[in-house]
């Protein structure tokens, strides 16, 4: 537990990029996405599935350019089409099969596009510099409260086939902890209370679904962690698995309540 807590504190500098915003945030997102997509693709090589790593890196760099210059979403569609054409060529040469292509583009969507919603929140709303914190509060507070509640009171397994250590008690603790923290944050910064309740509660459920989904992929390919970059947490993808789904949910909730 001590290692897990210390490793969690080591992630604080990454969150400082959110405070700074702008180019440092874009660079930080690019680095995180590049590492995460590498971890994701490497996991599937165990199953003799060989994604096209270069296409994942190219799209990660494109997102960096898009964010720096505020490019229209139309360019993203064009880039996806270009990358798809590039993926067809090695398939026609019998160097890649359909599963290689499927995992390549699923990784681009799951890891890269969904994580980019962090920047979309930051840059897309007047109070984006405040609202973006809700992503990390909902995701990380869910993980923190679920872990300690499960550790202290957990008795009933949640979905043991996917994640043996997670408990129903821990899940409930995660939801309550996330909701309370979002409410406190909303009260301090005078944000809509109803939005805080929705993001805190449903966002917590989404975070746990994201965590369980990532765990189901790891179980499928037969690995414990996506990487070993962060002691006690695994890789970047292990730490951000809940953030991946929470970010687009928070963006959607803000659209519903604010616009």
DSSP labels for 221-250? HT-S-S-SSBTTTBSHHHHSHHHHHHHHHH
Per-residue pLDDT averaged across 161-186, rounded? Answer: 95
Specify burial of residue 190 (Cβ count, 10 A radius: 0-12, 13-18, 19+): exposed
Asked whether the predicted pLDDT for residue 158 surpasses 60, the reply is yes
Our separate counts of H helices and E strands in the chain read 14, 0
222-244 mean pLDDT: 85
Residue 20: strand, helix, or coil: helix
Two tokens, residue 224: 């414990």
Instruction: Calculate mean pLDDT across residues 224-246.
Output: 85
- Tracing tokens 């008795």 back to the chain, one arrives at 155
Instruction: Judge if pTM exceeds 0.85.
Output: yes
The ranges assigned to domains in the chain are 2-258
Share of the chain above pLDDT 90, in %: 81
For residues 191 and 175, give the distance between their C-alpha atoms in angstroms, rounded to a whole number.
Answer: 19
| 3-state SS, residue 14 | helix
Closest CA relative to residue 39, chosen from 117, 98, 112, 140: 112
Is residue 119 pLDDT above 70, yes or no? yes
DSSP-derived 3-state class of residue 167: strand
């Amino acid at each position: 537990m001590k290692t897990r807590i210390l490793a969690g504190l080591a992630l604080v500098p990454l969150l400082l990029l959110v405070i700074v915003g702008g180019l440092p945030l874009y660079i930080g997102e690019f680095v995180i996405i590049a590492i995460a997509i590498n971890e994701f693709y490497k996991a599937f090589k165990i199953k003799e599935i060989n994604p096209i790593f270069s296409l994942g890196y190219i799209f990660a760099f494109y997102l960096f350019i898009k964010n720096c210059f505020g490019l229209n979403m139309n360019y993203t569609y064009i880039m996806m089409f270009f990358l798809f054409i590039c993926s067809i060529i090695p398939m026609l040469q019998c160097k890649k099969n359909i599963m290689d292509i499927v995992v390549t583009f699923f990784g681009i969507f799951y890891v890269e596009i969904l994580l980019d919603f962090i920047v979309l929140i930051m840059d897309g709303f007047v109070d984006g510099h405040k609202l973006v914190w809700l992503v990390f509060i909902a995701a990380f507070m869910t993980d923190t409260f679920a872990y300690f509640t499960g550790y202290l009171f957990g008795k009933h397994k949640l979905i043991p086939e996917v994640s043996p250590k997670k408990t129903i008690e821990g899940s409930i603790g995660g939801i309550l902890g996330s909701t309370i923290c979002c409410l406190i944050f909303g009260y301090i910064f005078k944000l809509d209370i109803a939005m805080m309740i929705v993001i805190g509660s449903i966002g917590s459920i989404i975070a746990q679904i994201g965590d369980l989904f990532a765990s189901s992929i790891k179980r499928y390919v037969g690995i414990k962690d996506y990487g070993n970059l962060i002691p006690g947490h695994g890789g970047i993808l292990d730490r951000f698995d809940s953030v991946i789904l929470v970010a687009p949910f928070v963006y959607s909730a803000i659209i519903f309540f604010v616009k």
